[in-house]
Chain A
Amino acid sequence: MPVGVPAHLQNSWESYYMEILMVTGLLAYIMNYIIGKNKNSRLAQAWFNSHRELLESNFALVGDDGTSKEAVSTGKLNQENEHIYNLWCSGRVCCEGMLIQLKFLKRQDLLNVLARMMRPACDQVQVKVTLNDEDMDTFVFAVGTKKAMARLQKEMQDLSEFCGDKPKSGAKYGLPESLAILSEMGEVTDGVMDNKMVHYITNHADKIESIHFSDQFSGPKVMQEEGQPLKLPETKKTLLFTFNVPGMGNTSPKDMDALLPLMNMVIYSIDKVKKLRLNREGKQKADKNRARVEENFLKQTHAQRQEAAQTRREEKKRAEKERIMNEEDPERQRRLEEAAQRREQKKIEKKQMKMKQIKVKAM
Chain B
Amino acid sequence: MLSNNMADPRRQNKILRYKPPSTETNPTLEDPTPDYMNLLGMIFSMCGLMLKLKWCAWIAVYCSFISFANSRSSEDTKQMMSSFMLSISAVVMSYLQNPQPMSPPW
Q: Which residues of A contact B17 (CB under 8 A)?
A: 64, 66, 71, 90
CB distance from A205 to the nearest CB of B (A): 27
Is there a chain B Cβ closer than 8 Å to A19's Cβ? Answer: yes
Number of interface residues of B (CB under 8 A): 33
Q: Which residues of A contact B69 (CB under 8 A)?
A: 29, 33, 82, 106, 108-110
CB distance from B53 to the nearest CB of A (A): 13
Is there a chain A Cβ closer than 8 Å to B3's Cβ? Answer: no
Q: Which residues of B contact A25 (CB under 8 A)?
A: 62
Docked CA distance A333–B65 (Å): 65
Whether the pair B100, A60 counts as a contact (CB closer than 8 A) is no
Q: Which of B8, B12, B17, B73 has the most CB of A within 10 A?
A: B17
Whether the pair B103, A91 counts as a contact (CB closer than 8 A) is no
Instruction: Pick the contact of A79: B13, B19, B73, B99 (CB < 8 A).
Output: B73
Is there a chain B Cβ closer than 8 Å to A363's Cβ? Answer: no
Docked CA distance A65–B20 (Å): 8
Instruction: Pick the contact of A18: B10, B74, B101 (CB < 8 A).
Output: B101
Interface residues on A, range: 35 or more
Is there a chain B Cβ closer than 8 Å to A246's Cβ? Answer: no
Whether the pair A80, B72 counts as a contact (CB closer than 8 A) is yes
Is there a chain A Cβ closer than 8 Å to B78's Cβ? Answer: no
Residue of A nearest to B69 (CB): A109
Is there a chain A Cβ closer than 8 Å to B61's Cβ? Answer: yes
Docked CA distance A33–B70 (Å): 10
Whether the pair A17, B14 counts as a contact (CB closer than 8 A) is no
Is there a chain B Cβ closer than 8 Å to A26's Cβ? Answer: yes
Whether the pair A91, B14 counts as a contact (CB closer than 8 A) is yes
Kindly specify which of A92-100, A252-260, A278-286, A343-351 makes contact with the partner chain.
Answer: A92-100
Q: List 8 A-B contacts (CB under 8 A).
A: A7-B100, A18-B101, A25-B62, A71-B15, A91-B13, A93-B9, A109-B70, A220-B28
Known: A22-B102, A81-B73, A90-B14. 9 other contacts (CB 8 A): A26-B65, A29-B66, A58-B9, A64-B17, A64-B18, A65-B18, A92-B14, A93-B11, A219-B25
